[in-house]
Amino acid sequence: MNDSHGESTNSVVGAFDAKTHLSELLDRVEREGASILITRHGKPVARLVPCENIDTKRVAKALAAIDSIAKGKSLKGTSIRDLINEGRRF
């Protein structure tokens, strides 16, 4: 089943039922990888989905890229406090 955003949904649950059966819904998401659309008065309001594993290599690569961009850059004697105060003027 696809919802209005084009994403696959294994089941649709009303907000009251989701509240009442949250533990069971979490078990389904964890065990089966289910995606559960939660509705209120028939309108989608939230989605319960499995967490994605964090790709630590990708995160480390992104942080290294940020560090390389910052290398060689300086504030040329300007303090962070001066920059904050400058920003407050606008």
Which CATH number characterizes residue 8's domain?
3.40.1620.10
Task: Give the domain extent around 29.
Answer: 1-90
Q: Which residue positions in the chain have pLDDT lower than 70?
A: 1-9, 90
User: Do the bridges between strand 11-14 and strand 36-40 make them parallel or antiparallel, or are there none, so unpaired?
Assistant: parallel
Model pLDDT, residue 9: 61
Question: Rounded CA gap, 47 and 6, in Å?
Answer: 13
Q: In whole angstroms, what is the distance from residue 28 CA to residue 9 CA? A: 13
Residue 2, pLDDT score: 47
Across the beta sheet with 11-14, the strand order is 11-14, 36-40, 43-48
Domain count, the chain: 1
Q: What's the confidence (pLDDT) of residue 90? A: 66
Q: Are 1 and 9 in contact (CB under 8 A)?
A: yes
